[in-house]
Structure 1
Amino acid sequence: MQEFLMDYGLWLLVGLLVIIALVFLLGGRRKGDVPGESASVAATPPEAAPIATQAAAPLSATAIDPVATSALEPVATPEPAEAQQPIPASPSIAMPVSEGDNLLRMKGIGPKLNQLLTDLGVTSYAQIANWTDADIAAIDAKLGNFKGRPVRDQWVDQAKYLAAGDFAGFEAKYGKL
């Protein structure tokens, strides 16, 4: 017996582990989980017993008192709160532009921010290059999740290079376009 265990003991252990794994994997399946079994049998809930209902007694017409409509007072509508006045854009922001520049070339401006700037009327490098601190504050207040990006990414300085056509200077300072 000892010789048998020495020769085949490792194989017996591996076989036992395989059998345990198969029992674990196949034993956890429920009815309807096994392919080929009808899932409708497992999914059908047991039928409930019917509930007996009593017929409601009819209401008499004399039991209802009509409400006088003249007793109701008209409800006063509250005055609408004054809406916040939008911040007027300065002339350098709202400068009309015949054709827009590709603002995506600037570092820190992605597709979402480009769309937001376009919606705000900012479409050219020249507009951004002419921004003052007040203009930056006005735009920054409208950027939502992108607040602080114009200053952090130095948009005005980048736009000055790109508006002047100094691509070599831009690439030297901010990296490849």
Structure 2
Amino acid sequence: MQEFFMDYGLWLLVGLLVIIALVFLLSGRRKAEQPIEPAVSAEAAPPPAPVPFVDPIIAAPVAAASVVAEPVVVEPVAPAEPVVEPVVEAPEPAPAAPAPAPVEPAPAPVAVVPAVAVVADGEDDLLRLKGVGPKLKALLIDLGITRYAQIAAWNDADIATIDAKLGSFKGRPVRDQWVDQAKYLAAGDIAGFEAKYGKV
């Protein structure tokens, strides 16, 4: 029996201490939740006058009867003037340049054969021109070209006209410089011709 109290008495003691601690904690919490009243001084202001109790059911009709609704005067509002945005005129386009007059195509060149000077003593020897052989000489004679002076007087248009008629010999008057050669030969400057183009 003594052992029973020794074993369980210790546990009972511990349980009793826990219960006491809980009681103190709970009582301390209740005190903390209660509002603290301030100390009243002797010179404190008197408490406010009690407000008389008014029954809301009885007071409502009285309050409603005492309120007089005044008519609300609404002043007419003038209609807003429409906002007119300024009209921005687009700049006038610059006058278009007058259309150029249609270009008429140049008339086709007329075949101009230099006039053949009729000389009593006959034709010049066209074979003396470098680049002119028997066939080309015969073709030039058929075109009416028989004198050095005629070739020496050619301009670019004359050369183009004759060159177009030379067939397979086309390009020879410019390449072989017939006009320059003919100037030497027409003037009788054989030395100048030979110095530039070789022996006649």
TM-score when normalising by structure 1? 0.49
Larger Rg: 2
TM-score when normalising by structure 2? 0.44
